[in-house]
Amino acid sequence: MIKVVGAGLAGCEAAYFLASHGVETELVEMKPRKFTPAHSSENFCELVCSNSLKSDDMYGNACGLLKEEMRRLGSVTMEAAEVSRVPAGGALAVDREKFSAYVTEKVKGAAGITVASREETELPGAGIVATGPLTSDALSAAIEREFGGGLHFYDASAPIVSAASIDFAKTFTQDRYGRGTGDYLNCPLTKEEYTAFVHALVLAERAKPHAFEKGEIFEGCMPVEVMAARGEDTLRFGTFKPVGLRDGAGNRPYAVLQLRRENEEGSCYGLVGCQTNLKFGEQKRVFSLIPALKNAEFLRYGVMHRNTFLQSPEILNADFSAKSHPMLFFAGQMTGVEGYVESAASGLLSGIHLWRKLCGKETKVPPATTVLGALSRYIAAPNRDFQPMNANYGILAEGFGTVRDKKERRRLLAERSLEEIERFARTVGL
């Protein structure tokens, strides 16, 4: 029986693929016996917010293209996302509880998967380790003994408020540039209101100021207070930008905070782009300065936690196997792929690769012209300054340099990628 350690997105993808292809699999998950700071439910695959899976535009966004590649390979998390989808314009937003419950039921009900509720403290001889950035101390120590120390950074999540506590009279519903179906709730601010908010945000007390001073914050999940400290207009040209939005009178506000539904019922909303590490009391005080949130009830405050990842270029091959242990694979954020979708993708790939090895076949990495292949090569390429990487067009093999129009070039990249991933699926026997 093959062991998969960790029932997050990567571990569930790997275990489900292996079992679906005839491999008896033990999925080891320490919940509910033990929880990490980022987890609260007994179910698998918890997401931090409804929009954790990001854009679904496969022709304009590399993460959207990655999701389509995964669908072509039979991804269980993409199946779950479709079932639990909630409106969010061009994003693949989900009802987090339904998403997690769906994957949990699917995995636990799969023939060939045995779920073991315990903490794993040693590396398996053959299997997949997908325990995420908050790997338990005991298993982290085992990894360090075998491969050396890991690196780390900090990332944050945004607050969620009750819909019933929002002053809807001080909001308007519209997606940026009119795209989507009116899925975002916009909270406009005047210049005076925005200035007061930014000043309060910058001066508010943070929970872990020492982490910021070390410069260990992941740029892709920068706390809103850190962004605000870079200049008074930084948020107005970023998270709070009013471009593409008009209120009921047809006027463009000075600044706008967007809220997005966190569940299908629309009973709670997340503050878009407001990842934060402020103390809880400070979060309530500062965000309540936004007129629509004056009396907001906070259902969940933003938090920051430490993420740990391997020095993968020294440790892993492009098929996510350990260079020194050919039957031991790693998957998820601990490999240096950053993001929920990217983590799930690495789990799916590690499952495919291990399955082929168990069948006595060589592993095959997807082409560099696919997002799956580009991420695989990124984590294994020599890199002294290795840092976590999201799906993006910068790591995707181009080949369309003569096409100057960005939209057209990305369309061509996407079409080629999907052709290649279909060919890859046939090549590996899917």
Taking the C-alpha atoms of residue 195 and residue 200, their distance in angstroms, rounded to an integer, is: 9
pLDDT of res. 51? 80
- β-pair type (325-330, 321-322): antiparallel
DSSP calls for 267-294: -EEEETT----B-HHHHHHHHTTSGGGT
User: Which pLDDT belongs to residue 258?
Assistant: 94
Residue-level pLDDT, tens digit, the chain, 430 residues: 999 999 999 999 999 999 999 999 999 998 877 666 556 678 899 887 778 888 888 898 899 999 999 999 999 999 999 999 988 878 888 999 999 999 999 999 999 999 999 999 999 999 999 998 778 889 988 998 998 766 566 667 788 888 889 999 999 998 888 776 777 899 999 999 999 999 999 999 988 644 433 445 555 568 899 999 999 999 999 999 999 999 888 899 999 999 988 766 677 788 998 989 899 999 999 999 999 999 998 887 887 766 678 889 999 999 999 999 999 999 999 998 988 999 999 999 999 999 999 999 999 999 999 999 999 999 998 887 677 788 888 788 777 667 778 788 889 999 999 999 999 999 999 9
What DSSP character marks residue 91?
B
pLDDT of residue 214: 46
Angle at 66 between CA 14 and CA 244, to 5 degrees: 140
Tell me the C-alpha distance between 128 and 3, whole Å. Answer: 7
Q: Are 292 and 269 in contact (CB under 8 A)?
A: no
Which pLDDT score, from 0 to 100, does residue 212 have? 39
CA pair distance 13, 353, nearest whole angstrom: 13
Question: What is the set of domains in the chain, with CATH numbers?
Answer: 2-150+310-428 (3.50.50.60), 160-305 (2.40.30)
